[in-house]
Amino acid sequence: MRPEIEKLVDNIEKVIIGKREVIVKVICAMLAGGHVLIEDVPGVGKTLLAQTLAKSVSGTFGRIQFTPDLMPSDVVGYTMIDRDGHSEYRAGAAMCNFLLADEINRTSPKVQSALLEAMEELQISVDGITHKLPVPFMTLATQNPIETYGTYHLPEAQLDRFLMRLSIGYPDRSAEKSMLEKMPHTIGIAPVMSLDEIMKLREEAGKISVSDAVKSYILSIVSATRTKQEIKLGASPRATIALFRAAQSMALINGRDYAVPDDVKIIAADVLSHRVILAAGQSAFLDSKAIIEKILEETVVPT
Mean pLDDT of the chain: 91
pLDDT at 208 over 70: yes
pLDDT of residue 191: 95
Whether the per-residue pLDDT at 130 is higher than 80: the answer is: yes
Q: How confident is the model at residue 302 (pLDDT cuts 50, 70, 90)?
A: very high
pLDDT at 27 over 60: yes
Distance CA 18, CA 35 (A): 22
pLDDT band at 128 (very low <50, low <70, confident <90, very high): confident
Rounded average pLDDT over 250-263: 97
pTM (two decimals): 0.93
Phi, psi (degrees; rounded to nearest 5) at 102: -80, 130
Q: Please, which pLDDT band fits residue 240 given cuts at 50, 70 and 90?
A: very high
CB distance 63 to 47 below 8 Å: yes
- Listed by start position, the domains of the chain span 3-182, 207-298
The answer to whether 299 touches 220, Cβ cutoff 8 Å, is yes
Residue 2, number of CB atoms within 10 A of its CB? 14
Which tens digits make up the pLDDT trace of 29-70? 999 999 999 998 888 888 899 999 999 999 999 999 998 889
Q: How confident is the model over 150-196, as pLDDT tens digits?
A: 677 787 878 889 999 999 989 999 999 988 887 655 567 899 999 99
Q: Tell me the C-alpha distance between 152 and 120, whole Å.
A: 21
Confidence of residue 287 (pLDDT cuts 50, 70, 90): confident
Looking at residues 212-218, what average pLDDT do you find?
A: 98
Instruction: Give the pLDDT confidence score for residue 246 in this predicted structure.
Output: 98
Is the per-residue pLDDT at 285 higher than 60?
A: no
pLDDT beyond 90 at 286: no
Cα–Cα dist 140/22, whole Å: 13
Domain 207-298, CATH class in plain words: mainly alpha
pLDDT class of 133 with cuts at 50, 70, 90: very high
Does domain 3-182 fall into CATH 3.40.50.300? Answer: yes
Indicate if the pLDDT at residue 92 is higher than 80.
yes
Mean pLDDT calculated for residue range 223-246: 94
